[in-house]
Structure 1
């Protein structure tokens, strides 16, 4: 056991009963916190994939694809036609 854990054990042993619940709740809240991912972020992953696409492959992608996605996916009339 390292020094930090020993000190924590000593201090917890001396706490009054009513404070132990607070310590336990705090320890549980720390355990629930999300840890940062070890690998690259989603944005970094997407950027890596996009960089692998040859420039000429983007020529067929419509410039208004995000704005007019319903048109390209479902065939609805363009909103800004």
Structure 2
């Protein structure tokens, strides 16, 4: 077994002991690593979408419904 394969197996073994919520965090971390290694987005829409991908749904749910209309009030 080579070192890379051993490392992969060690990571998998450790992940198998994690509770579901921590596995979700691991998945989000791995996805963020993949995004960092992929070519950077070019349009402003793609850049915004890439940034929002890291924001948890719970945080977006807490935004006021009229935030875009009353931005000055909330800032």
TM bucket (normalised to shorter chain) is: 0.3 to 0.5
TM-score (norm 1): 0.40
TM-score (norm 2): 0.43
Bigger Rg over Cα: 1
Q: Which has the higher contact order (CA 8 A, sep 6+)?
A: 2
